[in-house]
Structure 1
Amino acid sequence: MPDWIFFETKEPLWPSQASGRPQRERLRGSRHFCRRMAEGSPPPAAGNAGCRPTLMPNPSKSDPAGPAKPPLRVLLADDHDGMRRSLRRMLEADRRLLVCAEAKNGEEAVRQAAETRPDVAVLDLSMPLLSGVEAARLIRTTLPETRIVIVTLHPLPEGPTTDAEGLDVHAWVSKQEAAEQLVLAVLGVAGQLPE
């Protein structure tokens, strides 16, 4: 038996509808009536004429595709304001990503990471105070689950890169190819791409 049954009516089902009581009272009555029907109780005898039952989905049942995942939280650090704005637009164009914090230098990136605990940190390689790799080392020391993507204008290194402490930079992206590669890199290091 369906969990919910909704009745469209042409006549009042409850005397309160004709007595001018507030709308919320009528809505409360309608929901109560639907639950009684779902449990198999007979509908009220009065005001029943003209009702046409319509099956409604149970809002408590989960979607067959599963619940929607929350967006990945991304920390974005770049010392150039224009580049940072551009990278943010690229990331947030994908609904699976949310930029939770921005930083203008490596030290601010480490501080923002500690405060916001991002899933992925996108760090410019060349920043004041701390480089992207140095900031990545400090972030991963306190937040080992945070994945690191380095963006750079310099030639990309060959193969996987590990810093002096053995903490991997999970992906490198050229800024010239960021429009095509950045979102894929962020989703990839977080394990969000289909296999």
Structure 2
Amino acid sequence: MTISVLLADDQHLVRAGFRSLLRRDRDIVVVGEASTGDEAVRTARELRPDVILMDIRMPGLDGISATKQILAELDSTRIIILTTFETDEYVFAALAAGASGFLTKEIVPDRLREAVRVVAGGDALLSPSVTRRVVGQFAHRPVPAATSGGDRLAVLTEREREVVRLVATGLSNEEIARELVISPLTAKTHITRAIAKLGVRDRVQLVIIAFEDGLVTS
């Protein structure tokens, strides 16, 4: 399987660097580039890439707004937000826009290629230094009484709810498996089923629902 990638960044040297890194692997093909958010939206519509590496700060339409527009039209496309600024503001904006990954531009080459594969495979990815801060910040957000409650989570089995709760506390599949004394494959299966039942894109969205619906609180 070949993974098609669109590069969206206003800096030519950054795009050239990513293109050079990604072309080393035969299963990843850079099919297009964009230097603005508007161009990223137009190019995504035309090429329908599997994965987009999206810069946040670009002229005109920013990367977050471009992400929202693209994902509203292309259900199968996955977007990784890339930035030099590892701040909570950008993390939450990216997650709210539907991004499946958030990484800083200091990422090492092997990690970048792994990130593309992980996201293309339907999973979500955050840099390790961001994940705990995302969970911690969600834990301190008030749960809106009007929109929270167990309605969405009612479709899950008790075991699936427990797995989602552990996902929301920042545990990996392996850590969940150890906690529940099950195999990592079984943990992943429960996560996949919960994603399907709740109609969300990935495990990042599971975290959002878990906190919004009160399954996990501070």
- TM-score bracket for this pair, using the shorter chain length: 0.5 to 0.7
Q: In the alignment, what sits opposite 2:106?
A: 176
Unaligned residue ranges in structure 2 (runs of 5+): 124-184, 186-218
Letter in 2 for 1:127: M
Residue 155 to residue 162, structure 1, CA distance change in 2 (3 Å): closer
Partner-residue secondary structure (3-state), 1:177: coil
Shift of 1:91: 1.3
Residue 157 to residue 90, structure 1, CA distance change in 2 (3 Å): farther
Q: Which has the larger radius of gyration?
A: 1
Q: In the alignment, what sits opposite 2:202?
A: none
Q: Does 1:118 align with 2:118?
A: no
Residue 157 to residue 93, structure 1, CA distance change in 2 (3 Å): farther
Residue 178 to residue 109, structure 1, CA distance change in 2 (3 Å): farther
Shift of 1:87: 0.8
Q: In the alignment, what sits opposite 2:119?
A: 189
Shift of 1:92: 1.4
Residue 192 to residue 134, structure 1, CA distance change in 2 (3 Å): closer
Q: In the alignment, what sits opposite 2:35?
A: 104
Residue 179 to residue 185, structure 1, CA distance change in 2 (3 Å): same
Partner-residue secondary structure (3-state), 2:82: strand
Unaligned residue ranges in structure 1 (runs of 5+): 1-68
1:1-195 to 2 correspondences below 5 Å: 69=1, 71-155=2-86, 157=88, 161=92, 166-191=96-121
Residue 83 to residue 162, structure 1, CA distance change in 2 (3 Å): closer
Equivalences, count: 124
Shift of 1:161: 3.9
Shift of 1:157: 3.9
Q: Which runs of 4+ in 1 moved over 3 A?
A: 160-164
Q: Distance in 1 between matches of 2:40 and 2:57?
A: 13
Q: In the alignment, what sits opposite 1:17?
A: none
Q: Distance in 1 between matches of 2:103 and 2:118?
A: 12
What is the alpha-carbon root mean square deviation over aligned residues?
2.4
Shift of 1:173: 1.3
Q: Is the 8 A contact 1:121 1:149 kept in 2?
A: yes
Residue 161 to residue 92, structure 1, CA distance change in 2 (3 Å): farther
The answer to which of 89-98 and 99-108 deviates more is: 89-98
Could you tell me the TM-score, scaled by structure 2's length?
0.52
Q: Distance in 2 between matches of 1:148 and 1:161?
A: 14
Q: Distance in 1 between matches of 2:40 and 2:13?
A: 17
Partner-residue secondary structure (3-state), 2:38: helix
Q: Is the 8 A contact 1:161 1:168 kept in 2?
A: no
Q: In the alignment, what sits opposite 2:158?
A: none
Letter in 1 for 2:77: T
Could you tell me the TM-score, scaled by structure 1's length?
0.58
Higher normalized helix content (fraction of residues): 2
Q: Distance in 2 between matches of 1:129 and 1:181?
A: 30
Q: Identity over aligned residues, as a percent?
A: 37
Partner-residue secondary structure (3-state), 2:26: coil
Shift of 1:156: 5.0
